[in-house]
Chain A
Amino acid sequence: MQRRRIALAQLAPRLGRLDENLAVHRDVLAHARADGADLVVFPELGLTGYQLQDLSAEVAMALDDPRLAALAAETTGCSAIVSFVEEAPDHRLFIAAALLEDGALRHVHRKIYLPTYGLFDERRFFAAGQVTRAIPSRLGVPLGLAVCEDFWHLTVPLLLALDGAQILVNVSSSPGRDVAAVNEVGLGTATSWRALLRTYAALTTSFVVFCNRVGVDESVTFWGGSEVIGPDGETIMQAPLHDEGVFMAEIDLADVRRERVTLPLLRDERPEMVRRQLERILRTRADEG
């Protein structure tokens, strides 16, 4: 059996209160480990809250911050993904998601796509990450990390899957909007996300793990609805909308093999062709100015 237990911490972080949020993370980690979780996933900016504006620089942590080390120390025998504002040595600020394992910080993904439109203003306060890569993990298969808007760009899940990821993890602070009655589950944002997550799982024949926060920052309410989707696109676990809590899912890693043997979509990907077309498109766009 290749079963793994995943705990999704659908929390409501307190805006700008790093110490309080750290304490909650430690508590959730301890309980999830006691419940046999192999992987504990926390939402985007779970350590700081989302609508930080000028607070971003005040709650930022360098990767060698002792508070991160202390949190990592609580991951003996398990993996955790936590998210915070990272201050780089050159003082750029990133929205970061870090993989902590067996007491150490293993990898940091910096959010690549920073929405700066509509109700979002991330580019004003943060620098954009440049790298997406699959990372080995103690779970036995590589993980692919992404933060919220990273999943509104098709290339991210594709690149992660091509790089070997078998579990794609997206951590989010997605603000709920559009309560029109025609929406499935009454919320437009939930409807769109659910379609994306299932599509990515099915097309990359990978597990997709989505952890979205709840609670309120300023005007916006984050809708939760965290979930785990199997490599066939079917729902394995779905957390309720808006309720705070830690939700457990169990996955069987053998499902990836079964699905990929049955439906060898990744085998048939054509990365060289994609590269040639991208190079042509880039040349054309450069010529056009």
Chain B
Amino acid sequence: MALFELPPELAIDTAVARRIMVGFIRGQLRQAGFERALLGLSGGIDSAVVAFLVAEAIGPERLLCALLPYRTSSEASLEDARSVVDRLGCASRVVDISSIVDGYFEGALGPDGAAASSLRRGNFMARARMAVLYDLSVVWGGLVVGTGNKTEVLIGYTTHFGDDACAFDPVGDLYKSQLRQVAVDLGIPERIITKPPSADLWPGQTDEAEVGFSYAELDRLLYWMVDRRRSAEELAERGFDPRFVERVARMVAGAEFKRQVPPIAKLGPRTSGVDYLYPRRRPAPGS
């Protein structure tokens, strides 16, 4: 029996995809002059896949997995993350972010902190994890690897400068359904592949309940809309509910800012990102 629903048009050659992603990880590190990497391991499928890929690319001894629970995070997530660390034999470190987050909302922010919405708290947790990862990256001497997939990047189901912060992202062009295929190919524990994806910001939260549709239908729509450039009319002919199409199209358009480097006001003769364009890892002149 299949572990998950895979729309046929999203089926990928996992061996080739894996080869490209593993080479990409090596290439990025080499270009930047680093030999080590680290990432935040949540217990979910995305970070598990990236951890396996990094271990394959550079060896588990050069990977640090940071487990960054908040006090309401589920114990099962932590166990799943630990199972990945055990399987890979990589280094790991647990940093409980509760005191950082609570110190802000229950202390630094003053009396109105306690009333903060779960959205604010969720975003703050994601950014606290980012701050911890970047701090640990100095100690570990490695680059932070991103774990955001194409589905969440497109609909903007991320915290800007939080879970989307990274030096590079090997899985950002794989839809969730495709990433699940890669997970099976990598031999990731079945429990991690089959459990409902969750940001785990509060007990019982799941992505699909929060967003309102399944990854299989969302991925299929995004594929035809974005990759295959089908118009709203053509999507309707393909059987997609126009209300669903409109809602997703709005989410994608509204998240454009999260996918781009913030613009700089053009004043001088050469402006970073406008007409000063270099590779991210530029060799020093004369090298």
Taking beta carbons and an 8 Å cutoff, which residues of A are in contact with B? 12, 14-17, 19-20, 51-55, 58, 176, 179-183, 185-187, 215-218, 221, 241-242
Contacts and interface: CB of A to CB of B under 8 A. Distances in A.
B20 to A, nearest CB: 5
Given A53-B277, A54-B278, A242 B13 contact: no
Interface string B250-286: 0000000000000000000000000011111111010
B24 A187 contact: no
A138 B11 CA distance: 49
Nearest to B286: A19
Given A54-B276, A54-B277, A221-B27, A187 B283 contact: no
A186 B283 contact: no
Nearest to A183: B13
A180 B11 contact: yes
Chain B interface extent, by class: 20 to 34
Contact of B11 (A55, A181, A215): A181
B31 interface: yes
Contacts of B277: 53-54
Given A15-B283, A16-B283, A54-B276, A186 B27 contact: no
A19 B283 CA distance: 11
A193 to B, nearest CB: 15
Given A176-B20, A187-B13, A53 B27 contact: no
Nearest to A16: B283
B19 interface: yes
Contacts of A15: 31, 279, 281, 283
Given A181-B11, A216-B24, A17 B16 contact: no
Contacts of A215: 23, 27
A251 B27 CA distance: 34
B81 to A, nearest CB: 28
B92 interface: no
Contact of A179 (B12, B23, B279): B12
Contacts of A242: 19-20, 23
B136 interface: no
Contacts of B17: 179, 186
B26 to A, nearest CB: 8
14 contacts: A16-B282, A19-B287, A53-B279, A179-B16, A180-B9, A180-B13, A182-B11, A185-B16, A186-B15, A186-B16, A186-B17, A187-B16, A216-B23, A216-B26
A40 to B, nearest CB: 24
A200 B160 CA distance: 49
Contacts of B28: 216
Given A179-B20, A221-B27, A17 B283 contact: yes
A181 B20 contact: no
Contact of B279 (A183, A187, A218): A218
Contact of B285 (A58, A176, A182, A185): A58
A218 B280 contact: yes
Contacts of B27: 12, 215-217, 221
Contacts of B278: 53-55
Among A176, A217, A218, the one with the most B-chain Cβ atoms within 10 Å of its Cβ is A218
